[in-house]
Amino acid sequence: MKHSTLATLLCLPATLLAAERDDALKLPDVLISANRQVESRTATSAANSVFTRSDIDRLQPASLSDLLTRVPGVQVAPTGGRGSLPGIFIRGTKAAQALVLVDGVRIANTTSGDSGLQFIDIDQIERVEVLRGSRSAIYGSDAIGGVIQIFTRRGNGQNLQARLRLAAGSNQTFQRSLGLSGGQGGTRFNLGASLDETAGIDSTGPSYASDGDHDAYRNRSLNLSLSHVFDERFEAGLNLLDSRGRSEYDNPYGRLDATTWRSYPQAPYTDFSVSSLGTWLDAQLNDTWHSRLELGHSENRDDKRDKLSAERFVYNTYRDQLTWQNELALDERNQLMLGGDWYQDRYHGSANFAENSRWNRAAFAQYRFSGEGFATELGLRQDHNQQYGSQTTWNTGMSVPLTPRDDLLLSYSEGFRAPTFNDLYDVQYGNPDLRPEYSKSYELQWRSLLGDNSRLEASLYRTELRDAISYDASRKRPGNIDAARINGLELALTQTWAGWTSQLGLALIDPRDRNTGHTLARRARRTLSLDLDRSFGQFNLGASWQAVSSSYNDEANEAPLGGYGTFGLRGGWAMSDELRLDLKLDNLLDKGYSRTLYSYEGSNHGYREEGRTWLLSLTWTPAL
């Protein structure tokens, strides 16, 4: 950190082109999502966390949600075991206020805003980047709380490399994955497939007898990446991810008979499918102009059925998108990015919507300056939506190097979220007059190299939300009736000492409803995560501890949720260069906890989460 934070490696995008972009996905100190280009993690004003494939293999997370709990400022509130819908809150904002991308393609369901993260197999992931704080000036709608970008598995471009992984664990869990990657000349590829099955757990407590069974989960996933370098200036490629299967769950409220307003037992399940396809063309048109064209398509299919009745609900949504981005290196100190976005959402299903499609087009620009004593960035974007008209957002940031090891950053950003199809177009419950949600965020960051083996990142921020969409009881439909403010502090400390590597994440937040003064539902004020790891020759050992403070299940703060802590161990043995054995023990103390309540016969009950679990896996990576 001998230079200003925003100045560091600003020329990196001009040198890391094409195939080298895939190589960059394996590096822990670069970032792609903040400005849609490869750059140093320290070269952006966005607070960020990065997990490479090496991190994923070391941490052995049970799911993507499990991995995200290690990000300071990110809380996960599941509603049962594997495959259950998680509530993911970035800096106290709700799940629908975070943008989720897979290889640059938006994957959120346009009816509910849910992104189906619970259905993305961790074995198909090369890298995860999490941006904390609004990036709407770059990405537009949904990026109020932050951005989660998932990059699918990539090959190393050298010869042929196979991988086979077999795993078995508690709750009759069986996992199998197979992959092949390689390359020759200017072509590289990766092909992977996996099958994940578990008998699951009983997700609810007291309820109908039909809810007393275990809720099974089955996921079949496929990943393909392919790229070709035509010459030193042009490259094209595609990325595909497809996850589909069945997830059983409990409905403690039962099936409602609309005629008698009585409820009856259910045995519900969902046949799901989450997929994304992205194609791209990279071109270094001259020494100063780099251009990238991306075309994407995503599908989020949800078919809910009941084994005890003919009840069925289908929610299938589709999105096509196009992005053109241009990076101009004006000189050594000045960079300009110009681009345009277009996407169209479509819906097909059983619900009665007044409209089943809408489009959005946008233009965006970002200017970056790197000086001797400071660096700045300024971004502006205008979206025009078929439903609600135009929306303009902007962000600005300044970085000042206090010492060769310490940087101070000041930033301001705006964000917005478009109402979902459920909010706008549901004939019975929607409100076509809804406005987008809007946010303003102010942030102060300190990034420091405390020593040769120690790094600290601290963020102090305030987010103000207005026109938040919530159910309007007086009108019996959604309305722009809520306002909130969220104050927060985040600390991320990475340190190596006595052969051990530790990663500590701490978040303190105060999320308040401005109308009532109540704490926002299901947001814990304090979260802490700690990972310790060490290698002993062919062996490695690790431990994880997570602590979450109490919160409330409801906006009225009348249904408290207790805090909890979990502890886990993991270990691995590299039996040879090609064969590895791993063992993981989660929630070792068998702590019972719940982050969500449901009501049954006048009482509140918590959804059950998995207790103590274990998973033993064998990985074989022969060179062909």
Lowest-pLDDT choice from 15-24, 39-48, 401-410, 423-432: 15-24
Question: Sorting pLDDT into bands at 50, 70 and 90, what band is 535?
Answer: very high
Question: Sorting pLDDT into bands at 50, 70 and 90, what band is 437?
Answer: very high
Most confident of 140-149, 226-235, 251-260: 140-149
CATH at residue 376: 2.40.170.20
What is the structure's pLDDT at 218? 97
Query: d(Cα 176, Cα 165) in Å, to the nearest integer?
Result: 6
pLDDT digits (tens, 9 = 90+) for 47-57: 999 999 999 99
The boundaries of the domain holding residue 156 are 12-620
What is the structure's pLDDT at 607? 86
- Residue 63 or 253, more confident: 63
What is the structure's pLDDT at 2? 41
What is the structure's pLDDT at 402? 93
Q: Quick check: is 3 in a domain?
A: no
What is the structure's pLDDT at 10? 39
Q: Quick check: is 526 in a domain?
A: yes
What is the number of H-type helices and E-type strands within the chain?
Answer: 6, 37
What is the structure's pLDDT at 346? 96
Predicted model pTM: 0.94
What is the structure's pLDDT at 5? 39
Instruction: Write the DSSP string, 527-587.
Output: EEEEEEEEEETTEEEEEEEEEE--EESSTTS-SEE--EEEEEEEEEEE-SSSEEEEEEEES
Task: Kindly tell me if the per-residue pLDDT of 255 is higher than 70.
Answer: no
Question: Sorting pLDDT into bands at 50, 70 and 90, what band is 3?
Answer: very low
**Cα-Cα-Cα-Cα dihedral of 380, 386, 387, 393, to 10°?**
0
CA 590, chain centre distance (Å): 27
CB atoms < 10 A from the CB of 133, how many?
Answer: 31
Task: Kindly tell me if the per-residue pLDDT of 180 is higher than 90.
Answer: yes
Query: d(Cα 524, Cα 316) in Å, to the nearest integer?
Result: 33
Distances (CA, A) of 100 to 61, 120, 548: 19, 12, 24
Written as one letter, the residue type at 154 is: R
What is the structure's pLDDT at 262? 60
Task: Kindly tell me if the per-residue pLDDT of 600 is higher than 90.
Answer: no
Task: Kindly tell me if the per-residue pLDDT of 258 is higher than 90.
Answer: no
Tokens 């069974």 belong to 213
Question: Sorting pLDDT into bands at 50, 70 and 90, what band is 18?
Answer: very low
Q: Quick check: is 320 in a domain?
A: yes
What is the structure's pLDDT at 472? 78
Of the candidates 529, 490, 530, which has an alpha carbon nearest to the alpha carbon of residue 507? Answer: 490
Question: Sorting pLDDT into bands at 50, 70 and 90, what band is 427?
Answer: confident
pLDDT (average), residues 124-153: 96
Query: d(Cα 593, Cα 50) in Å, to the nearest integer?
Result: 28
Give how many domains the chain has, as a whole number: 1
> Do the beta carbons of residue 53 and residue 126 sit within 8 Å?
yes
φ, ψ of residue 593 in degrees (nearest 5): -155, 165
**Cα-Cα-Cα-Cα dihedral of 591, 592, 596, 601, to 10°?**
-170
Q: In this structure, is the dihedral angle defined by the CA atoms of residues 50, 126, 595 and 511, taken in order, positive or negative?
A: positive
Question: Sorting pLDDT into bands at 50, 70 and 90, what band is 251?
Answer: confident
Of the candidates 340, 337, 300, which has an alpha carbon nearest to the alpha carbon of residue 322? Answer: 340
Cβ neighbours of residue 315 closer than 8 Å, sequence gap 6 or more: 109, 111, 112, 301, 302, 304, 347, 349, 350, 351
pLDDT digits (tens, 9 = 90+) for 515-532: 899 999 999 999 999 999
**Cα-Cα-Cα-Cα dihedral of 302, 306, 309, 310, to 10°?**
20
Q: Quick check: is 191 in a domain?
A: yes
Q: Quick check: is 20 in a domain?
A: yes
Average pLDDT score over the chain: 91
CB atoms < 10 A from the CB of 332, how many?
Answer: 10
> Do the beta carbons of residue 341 and residue 364 sit within 8 Å?
yes
Q: Quick check: is 480 in a domain?
A: yes
What is the structure's pLDDT at 19? 55
Query: d(Cα 32, Cα 22) in Å, to the nearest integer?
Result: 11
> Do the beta carbons of residue 393 and residue 29 sit within 8 Å?
no
pLDDT digits (tens, 9 = 90+) for 465-490: 999 888 877 778 888 988 999 999 99
CA 281, chain centre distance (Å): 25
CB atoms < 10 A from the CB of 615, how many?
Answer: 18
Strand ranges in 185-254 using DSSP code E only, listed in sequence order: 187-198, 217-229, 234-248
Lookup: tokens for 204: 């609810």
* DSSP conformational letter for 427: T
pLDDT digits (tens, 9 = 90+) for 315-345: 999 999 999 999 999 998 999 999 999 999 9
- Residue 13 or 411, more confident: 411
Give me the residues paired with residue 342 across strands.
322, 361
Query: d(Cα 431, Cα 387) in Å, to the nearest integer?
Result: 12
Cβ neighbours of residue 121 closer than 8 Å, sequence gap 6 or more: 177, 194, 196, 219, 221, 243
What is the structure's pLDDT at 257? 61
Lookup: tokens for 453: 């083996």
Q: Quick check: is 4 in a domain?
A: no
What is the structure's pLDDT at 14? 37
> Do the beta carbons of residue 129 and residue 146 sit within 8 Å?
no
Task: Kindly tell me if the per-residue pLDDT of 146 is higher than 70.
Answer: yes
Query: d(Cα 288, Cα 585) in Å, to the nearest integer?
Result: 52
Query: d(Cα 155, Cα 67) in Å, to the nearest integer?
Result: 22
Query: d(Cα 180, Cα 226) in Å, to the nearest integer?
Result: 12
Strands 217-229 and 255-257: unpaired
Percentage of the residues of the chain whose pLDDT score is greater than 90: 74
pLDDT digits (tens, 9 = 90+) for 399-409: 999 999 999 99
Q: Quick check: is 546 in a domain?
A: yes
